[in-house]
Amino acid sequence: MAEERSYRHGARAIVPLAIAVFGFGVSYGVLAETAGMGSLAPIVMSTTTFAGSAQFAAASVLAAGGAAATAVAAALLLNARYAPIGVTVAPWITGGVWSRLLHAHLMVDESWAVAAEGGGRWNPKVLVAAGLGIWIAWVGGTVIGVAFGDVIGDPNRLGLDAAFPALFLALLAPQVRDRAPREAAFAGAAIGLVLTPFTPAGVPIVAASLGALLGLRRSEP
């Protein structure tokens, strides 16, 4: 491997995704305000919860007149994947409790994916820098959406929704050269797709973790 990656690399790697996240942040701000969340609550939620799909789900439930408990359940189900994702990076997160909480807070799908070093290793500096970039874009987008309304239009129109799976695919590719991770990946994708029509959103990704156990049989010595 070339030089050890640091904060700079994480910040640079995340720029295109941060632009896309900013676009979705604006639409979240617009949706949340129309859902009757006011202006402050969506911004506070972007700052603290900091998880796109979960926040969209919670706002949609509230917009449809659903109960607070339903909105929380939908959001936390969507974020349940962060428990296994947190386990993957845990060995590389050192320092005191506050430092670990900061790393955990800045861990979102995109920053986690770009922090992968392959072979099950993760780079905490890249995670933090990339996560901070996404956080600034997400909170900034929310503020713009709440304050100025729909300035960007539908981010999907620009194809930004295709950028995320493309990123994950690009970061998956170098990790699946060996047989065991390749089988884990195929199993994870298959579990996710098969469960999508039958389970609430969020469950399929968590269940995809079981793909790791299938791959494990191959990596047994």
Partner 1 sequence: MSAVWTVVVVTGVGTLALKAAGPVLLGGRPLPDRAARVATLLGPALLAALVAIGTFAEGERLVVDDRLLGVAAAAVAIRMRAPVLLVVVIAAAVTGGYRALT
> Rule CB under 8 A: which of 107-166 touch partner 1?
107, 109, 113-114, 116, 119-120, 156-166
Minimum CB distance to partner 1, residue 148 (Å): 21
Nearest CA-CA partner of 7 in 170, 119, 133: 133
Q: Is 32 within 8 Å of 55 (Cβ atoms)?
A: yes
Residues 29-88 close enough to bind partner 1 by CB under 8 A: 36-38, 41, 44-45, 48-51, 54-55, 58, 62, 67-68, 71-72, 75-76, 79-88
Determine if 105 is a binding residue for partner 1 (CB under 8 A): yes
The answer to whether the beta carbons of residues 25 and 46 sit under 8 Å apart is: yes
Name residue 219's amino acid: S
Query: Please, which residue, 116 or 132, has the CB nearer to partner 1?
Result: 116
> Around Cβ 63, how many Cβ atoms within 10 Å?
15
Structure tokens at 114: 């770009």
- Contact set for partner 1, span 166-195 (CB under 8 A): 166-173, 175-176, 180-182, 184-193
- Closest separation between CB of residue 172 and partner 1, Å? 4
Determine, following the binding rule CB under 8 A, whether residue 11 of this chain makes contact with partner 1: no
Taking the complex as a whole, the smallest distance from the CB of residue 144 to partner 1 amounts, in Å, to: 19
By beta-carbon proximity to partner 1, the closer residue of 86 and 150 is 86
The DSSP bridge partners found for residue 121 are 118
CA distances from 204 to 146, 207, 221 (A): 31, 5, 30
